[in-house]
Amino acid sequence: MNISELKNEDEVPYTIFETPKKVWKTDEVRYATIYETPKKVWKTVAETIKLQSVNKKVKKKKLNGFVLYEGKSNLDPSQNIVAIVTSKSANPKTGNMAQLWILNKDINPMTASKEKKDNAVCGSCILRQSLGGACYVTIFQAPNKVWKTYKNGGYKPIDVPDYGNHFSGVKMRFGAYGDPAAIPTHILASLKAYVANNTSYTHQWKEDAAQGLKTLSMASVDNVGEAKQATKKGWRYFRVAKEDERLLKGEIICPNVTTGVSCIDCGLCNGAKPNDRRKSIVIPVHGARKNKF
C-alpha cells in the first residue's frame, strides 16, 4: 500500500480522526503518518499537548522582581552577594513598598547565618543572629524565599539605564535584609534618583567607605554614645532603645509606634538632606529576639 491508496478516509482507523486536526500539517504528512506508524501519532499528540501546556506555564511565569547586582561584597570581598528588588510587601509596618534584599549569592541565608558568613551582607552589625543578636528579621521566611526564587531564575537582571522604566515614582526600602553598604554606592544613588522616596539603614556609618550613604540612609545606632557620634559625623540616625530609656534632644519616637502610620506614608528614614532639621528616630527594641538586645 502506498500513500495515494489511502486517500479514502473510510480506510483509516476511526480513532485517528479524533486526533486534533492541527497535528496534520498537510495531507501528505497526515496519510504518511497514518500509514506508517499510527501509534506514533498518538504519542505525538500527547507530546504536543504536553509541550503546549509547558509553553503555557513558561508564558505565565511571572517575574517578581529584578537583580540589580551580583558580585563581590563591599563588606567582605572574599564573598559574592546579590541585590534583588521585589515589587511588593505585605509588611504592615512598611506598607506596600518595593524591597531591596541583599543576600549571599551562593549560600542560602539560613546557612550563611549559621556559618557566620552573613558578614558579607550584614557587615559588623552586632544584632546579627549569627552572633546571638536581636535582629528581628525572620531569615527562614522572606529572605529564604527570595533567595530560592533568585536561584530558580525568578528575577530578571537589569542595569542602571533600566531603573527609570521600573522604579520611577516607586517607594522603596533599601535593605529589607542586608546592609545597603554591601553593594556599590552608585547603584543606591541611581535608585535614589528615580524612586519617589526610600527608607534605608546602615550599621556601617562609622566606615569611611559608607560616608557617601548619608544622603540616602539613616545610621543604625544601638546606644546613646553611638547616636552622638553619628550626629557629629553628619548622619541622621535610627536608634533602637529599651523602653525605659529617655529620648535625647533631636529625637522622636518612630511615628509607626505612636500613630500607626506605615513607612510608605511616613518616609522619614531617608537620610540627611543639606541643612536637614528633621529629627532622628528612636524605636523600642522589638521582634521575637528583643530580649537579646
- Residues forming contacts to ligand SF4 in the complex (CB under 6 A) are 199, 254-256, 261, 263, 266-269, 281
Q: How far is the CB of 176 from ligand SF4 (least distance, A)?
A: 12
Instruction: Give the shortest CB-266-to-ligand SF4 separation in angstroms.
Output: 3
CB of 208 to ligand SF4, least distance (A): 26
Q: Do 137 and 201 meet the contact criterion of CB atoms below 8 Å apart?
A: no
| Cα 274 to Cα 261: distance, rounded to the nearest angstrom | 26
- Strand partners for 71: 81
Q: Which is nearer to ligand SF4, 190 or 199 (CB)?
A: 199
Tell me whether residue 33 or residue 217 sits nearer to ligand SF4 (CB atom).
217
Q: Tell me whether residue 267 or residue 284 sits nearer to ligand SF4 (CB atom).
A: 267
In angstroms, the CA 231 to CA 221 distance is 11
CA 136 to CA 132: how far, in whole Å?
A: 12
CB of 117 to ligand SF4, least distance (A): 28
Q: Which residue's CB is nearer to ligand SF4, number 112 or number 188?
A: 188
Angle at CA 228, nearest 5°, toward 288 and 235? Answer: 85
**Which one, 131 or 261, has the nearer CB to ligand SF4?**
261
Least Å distance, CB 82 to ligand SF4, is 25
Could you say which DSSP state residue 247 is in? Answer: P
Q: What does the radius of gyration of the chain's CA atoms come to, in whole angstroms?
A: 28
Q: Residue type for 179, please? A: D
Per DSSP, what are the bridge partners of residue 278? Answer: none
